[in-house]
Amino acid sequence: MGSSPSADLSYDMDRWWVREWQKIQSEEGLYRYYRLALRQNLWGEWELIKSWGRIGQRPTRVVALSAAELEHAEILAAALALAVAKARKRHDYFSDGA
């Protein structure tokens, strides 16, 4: 029997990461988050996942960007993380420190 495609599949979990920003204004009832994650999907392809919404609930919105190569995904992720950090700071979010 030939080898199945999953036999060649490998995950590089050391390269996965998650960044999160939160905005909490309890007097106004505002509890929001924005999350950016770099990971591999079920088939080993690299994805940059953006999600945001109310803290403690399912994400309001999830956007996945795919990249064929890890190097491309890391370049895209670094540029996007910098832009997101600047935008979140302007909107009074604080970072998880990662």
pTM given for the model: 0.78
* Helix residue spans in the chain (DSSP H): 70-90
d(CA 9, CA 42): 9
Over the stretch 43-86, which tens digit does the pLDDT of each residue have? 889 999 999 999 999 989 999 999 988 899 999 999 999 999 99
User: Are 81 and 98 within 8 A, CB to CB?
Assistant: no
What domains can you pick out in the chain, each with its CATH number?
A: 15-95 (3.10.450)
Query: 20 vs 2, 28, 42, CA distance in Å?
Result: 43, 21, 23
Over the stretch 26-36, which tens digit does the pLDDT of each residue have? 888 899 999 99
- In the sheet that 94-95 helps form, which strands lie side by side, from edge to edge? 61-67, 46-54, 30-40, 17-25, 94-95
d(CA 95, CA 98): 7
